Structure 1
């Protein structure tokens, strides 16, 4: 694992190195901006290093089982709003608890100053890769994963040029940190769904994990850090947590910005206090304390919304029951609707969600946004 902190992603790093050669910096900047702004990329318009990168990195691994990927997509279709909550209240906080990896986010400074934009980009990639057909040849999810991988290489290049990186932290966006981040989108999400009271079969859990394992391959993660079995993925996540989780000012700053953003985009006062409460419930008090998540009596905070909706009449709240899962689903739909209204910048298209998912999740407000 120590050696994985010194390994990055040679194919993507080499493409960026060639792109940012001294006499090509203006052209490289223009092309990187094109990658950010344009959702669809024409390979013919790219320079040879980028064209070669996209052609080589777009191949799925030989072990990819598209039937399992499809089953994972179906789980996303059924529990999408809950997975959005898991992203906000479990996956991202888990990333911020990794003391060395979170320094990359702090150095880029964007989450602290513009939390909505970065978080929305992460949510967009998750939707892209888990939408039906997203990981098929030419699928939007496949292209999104390739772009994120290239952006990681660009960030590594710029951080090294900045002179602000401490070699004791390992390489920026190294293999261990990339694997840990990927696992927050698979194993951490699966654990969060169970804590929310969602019903998942063993086949569905393994299918969802497999789909993200395929994503990990596309994003350049060493296959030694992509265990085949879900149980081994859970064990790897535990090992990374033991190695990397610690309290840091950067992690607490990122978490505060994340909780504040959720409070801002959720409508009205019905869900006041719920982001912090759910974060504690989904990541556990130990990790929440590292991140300085405000403490709360989660049963009391859940009780208000449940009473308003007529789901409970006394002080007993079973967080893992079907009624609580229904409440979390409602919260996820409101968060998703809030993403439609958030500004990605003057040159970016709005957050997109396929029509089939908008309808099945009963997400509204897209047309007005």
Structure 2
């Protein structure tokens, strides 16, 4: 079905007022039973037998994942995981240099992010957790022989719902014009940042992708979107649909905001302080500006002080990868290097965790 007719201002306005009821109801139950958060954080995956004395809203949320497992599109998942096996190091690079800055350029969505002290003050840890999330999604066998990724998606979905809960109840400066916190349009935009923007980033570096590869990535994130609470009837399944949807969202929301400027400033400073390769660290702002483009750079207040040629930047990223992995790059080597970097930087391997709740 051609989805282009769905991409109207009226439909997207309606999505800004819709969130994720299944996760929102589960979070209310967790707020009322904070001891369950600690139990759930100890899980490696969602147990097959759930405690039946837990709140019904929480059981409904967890049962969703047990029921959807039988619908896993195995052939698609294998193709997506093969793509990541071959290009996962560059995929992770695009996460930091393109996907996240792209999200920060959308003013209303950035208002939620900036209200998290962890994102501003511990941006390295937050970036590391997002990288760990991505690795779990593309782990070979994820969703069909390895069930851990379901729990990873569920935790991120609950974290979004916790954010909505606390912003709506305690952020006195929240402007209703922003829409609901982490609403359906923002969720779709974030999914586009992790899929369409990554594909664009590859092409900006002169890396040719086949139509099949692009379609595989978009459809992989259609599956992930279902697990993350997106209303996937709006999710694009072709490159043309993705192009048109992103263009409309960009036209609606790409603009300067203090929130976006605060977020991008923290991210650039982290890169300048932590990236070991001086060619990348000293030009972090210019590299981000190159990827997000002139319009988003203006919205973020970025300066591109260095004229960058995409094919040369692609060669630099690939050379850095060759230095790191030699000729044996695969998922395991990418993950091992990622974990080693985290141990060196933070003294631990970062994982997505539900927030600790203390009863007052």
TM-score by length of 1: 0.79
Secondary structure at 2:280's aligned position in 1?
coil
Select which of 212, 218, 222 maps to 2:231.
222
Q: Deviations over 1:194-230 (max 9, x none)?
A: 1112232211111111111100011110123212223
Select which of 86, 90, 102 maps to 2:94.
86
| Structure 2 runs not aligned, ≥5 long | 1-11, 326-333, 352-360
Contact 2:215 2:237 in 1 (8 A): no
Across the aligned residues of Structure 1 and Structure 2, the Cα RMSD in angstroms comes to 2.7
Contact 2:30 2:37 in 1 (8 A): no
Matched, 1:338 2:341: yes
Higher relative contact order (CA 8 A, sep 6+): 2
Secondary structure at 1:296's aligned position in 2?
coil
Equivalence for 2:25: 14
Task: State the distance in 2 between where 1:210 and 1:260 align.
Answer: 34
Task: State the distance in 2 between where 1:327 and 1:288 align.
Answer: 27
Contact 2:46 2:150 in 1 (8 A): no
Deviation at 1:241, TM superposition (A): 1.0
Equivalence for 2:349: 350
Task: State the distance in 2 between where 1:192 and 1:268 align.
Answer: 20
Task: State the distance in 2 between where 1:180 and 1:150 align.
Answer: 18
Matched, 1:145 2:153: yes
Q: Deviations over 1:333-352 (max 9, x none)?
A: 899453343338xxxx6148
Give the 5 Å matches for 1:183-332.
183-267=192-276, 269-299=278-308, 319=311, 323-324=315-316, 326-327=318-319, 329=321
Deviation at 1:57, TM superposition (A): 3.6
Q: Deviations over 1:153-195 (max 9, x none)?
A: 1111111120422212110000000000011001000110111
- Provide closer, same or farther for how the CA distance between residues 322 and 4 of structure 1 changes in structure 2, counting only shifts above 3 A: closer
Equivalence for 2:7: none
Deviation at 1:271, TM superposition (A): 2.7
Task: State the distance in 1 between where 2:146 and 2:317 align.
Answer: 35
Give the 5 Å matches for 1:156-195.
156-164=164-172, 165-195=174-204
Select which of 98, 109, 124 maps to 1:116.
124
Contact 2:290 2:304 in 1 (8 A): no
**Number of residue-to-residue matches in the alignment:** 325
Judge which range, 187-196 or 258-267, deviates more. 258-267
| Structure 1 runs not aligned, ≥5 long | 300-316, 353-369
